[in-house]
Amino acid sequence: MAGKAAAPGVGILLVTANVGTLFDDTENLQKNWLREFYQTVHAQKPQFLSLHCQEVGGKNYEASMAHVDKLVKDLLSSDAMKEFNRARVYLDENYKSQENFTALGSFYFLHESLKNVYQYDFKAKKYRKVTGKEIYSDTLESTPMLEKEKFPQEFFPESKSSRKGFIRTRWCITDCAFDLVNIHLFHDASNVIAWESSPSIYSGIRQKALSYVLNRFSGMQRDMKSQNPSLQHGTSVTDHRFEKVPFFVFGDFNFRLDLKSVVETLCAKTTMQTVHAADTNAVDKLVFRESENDRKVVLQIEKKLFEYFNQEVFRDNNGTALLEFDKELSVFKDRLYELDITFPPSYPYSEDSSQGKQYMNTRCPAWCDRILMSHSAKELLLKSENDERIVLYDHIGPNICMGDHKPVFLSFRVATGAGKRCQHNEKIYRETTL
């Protein structure tokens, strides 16, 4: 920490990572991932580190349990993390409970130089001092130190085994309170269906789910079905259980580019061939060919195929020319803020450990992995003397295979006493530890 000892405020590092593919190739991918993650921690030198993971355990969770345990052990005991003397790990491992299982994992690490950090107990409605290292798993629903929920099935009826949901924790650092929300929203199930309309139907599903979360955490609304089963799911009433504080929500939002607009731009001078399924007559495949040049195939789209002839368009200048098609967050501009994106689309990268920069031809590359914040949280980001924010918003492992998602991070500093002061009970602070 010597390099940043004189820097003002407290250094915060937020990281989001969909780690589903790490458990398919632990020998290569997981080693690469950990090495690049540790290098980022070393470079940013945070005092408070939050790592939000999605798809912990991958597709075959039961078979991957040992690999999950090893990843957690590495994160808690590696030399790279030895200066973090307190930690909280929350793993949703209860895969047998499909009604509640989200496969989310939230990791929080506190550097030895950071004093007096408190975490909120949602049941007791009090902050408790954080000491030691502890891991919580299985039935997180009974853990008072967080709120967890899987999205209602009717939000995404097309997916029978969806594991999408969120976990919220609340923290008090330098007497500043804020929420950290780990989130995983719904994906595009079919490229063909996503192409059919602008915006796509999947965009609307994600919008509904994110609105559901924001309403829960805005201090205004919550779902009351658990208290009154006769209510329709999604019924909301005024909720003043918890004080409204600034929040950061980061995870795999599965935000996609407006596919219809992207295709119209990339294939402006082509002709389209539509292939129908023999049994249902539904559109099965789209082929875009140049009108000349021997009718060269420019783009092919199927349910899980997006094969464009020139991937450089997604990498050139970090893909910034495509940001105009990244529209899903615009609906929330009055409620959420994001720093400018200067890194290439974070998904879907090749899982070949020798192909660190290559995209898979499964989906149109997009900025799925994001770190967003409330406008009140934006005000916590410390400004430098020249009035520029001391922040870095970037991705991890640009040249290294990290699985199909590149982790994304936000590094910043919070001024002492910034934002809303924690409403706490001094006796609880002194006597209660976690």
Give one DSSP letter per residue of 214-226, joined into a string: HHHHTTSEEE-TT
What pLDDT is recorded for position 61?
Answer: 79
Q: Which range marks the domain in which residue 27 is found?
A: 2-189+196-256+310-431
The pLDDT of 293-316, averaged and rounded, is 94
The mean pLDDT value of the chain amounts to 88
What gap in Å lies between CA 321 and CA 314, rounded to an integer?
8
**pLDDT per residue as tens digits for the range 210-221:** 999 999 877 544
For residue 86, tell me if it sits in a domain: yes
Residues 6+ apart with CB under 8 A from 419: 176, 177, 178, 245, 246, 376, 377, 379, 380
**What was the pLDDT predicted at 229?**
43
Phi first, then psi, for residue 102 (nearest 5°) are -120, -15
Highest mean pLDDT among 111-115, 294-298, 416-420: 111-115
pLDDT tens column, 18-59: 999 998 877 888 999 999 999 999 999 999 999 999 999 988
| Whether 102 contacts 167, CB under 8 Å | yes
- Dump pLDDT digits (tens) for 240-280: 578 889 999 999 999 999 999 999 999 999 999 999 988 88
Which structure tokens are listed for 184? 């995983």
Name the pLDDT band for 7 (thresholds 50, 70, 90). Answer: low
pLDDT of 297 higher than 70: yes
Number of Cβ within a 10 Å radius of residue 25: 16
Q: What is the pLDDT of residues 229-240, one digit of tens each?
A: 444 444 443 345
Q: Which two tokens stand for residue 276?
A: 């129908």
Which one has a higher pLDDT value, 5 or 341?
341
Answer yes or no: is pLDDT of 65 > 90: no
Q: Supply the pLDDT for residue 231.
A: 40
Higher pLDDT, 160 or 77: 77
Burial of 377 (0-12, 13-18, 19+ CB in 10 A): buried
Q: Which whole number is the average pLDDT over 327-333?
A: 97
The pLDDT, as a whole number, for residue 1 is: 45
Domain membership flag for residue 278: no
Please check the confidence at residue 125 and state whether its pLDDT lies above 60.
Answer: yes
Which residues are CB-neighbours of 369 under 8 A, at least 6 positions away? 16, 17, 18, 251, 252, 253, 346, 347, 395, 405, 406, 407, 408
Answer whether residue 398 is part of any domain: yes
Q: Give a yes or no: residue 267 inside a domain.
A: no
Return the pLDDT at 358. 96
101 against 426, higher pLDDT: 101
The better pLDDT of the pair 424, 419 is held by 419
Residues 52 and 407: their CA atoms lie apart, in Å, by 10
CATH of residue 390's domain is 3.60.10.10
**Mean pLDDT on 120-139:** 93
- Tokens matching residue 136: 């919580």
> Does residue 77 lie in a domain region?
yes
Confidence at 93, pLDDT banded by 50, 70, 90 = confident
CA dihedral 372, 377, 379, 380 (to 10 degrees): -110
Q: Tell me whether residue 261 is in a domain.
A: no
Q: Which residues touch 31 (CB under 8 Å, ≥6 apart)? A: none
> Which pLDDT belongs to residue 154?
83
Dihedral of the alpha carbons of 110, 10, 409, 189, in degrees to the nearest 10: 70
What is the number of structural domains in the chain?
1
CA distances, 251 to each of 104, 405, 422 (Å): 10, 11, 25
Report pLDDT for 430. Answer: 44
Preceding amide of 199 cis, omega within 30: yes
Strands 283-290 and 297-302, sheet pairing: antiparallel
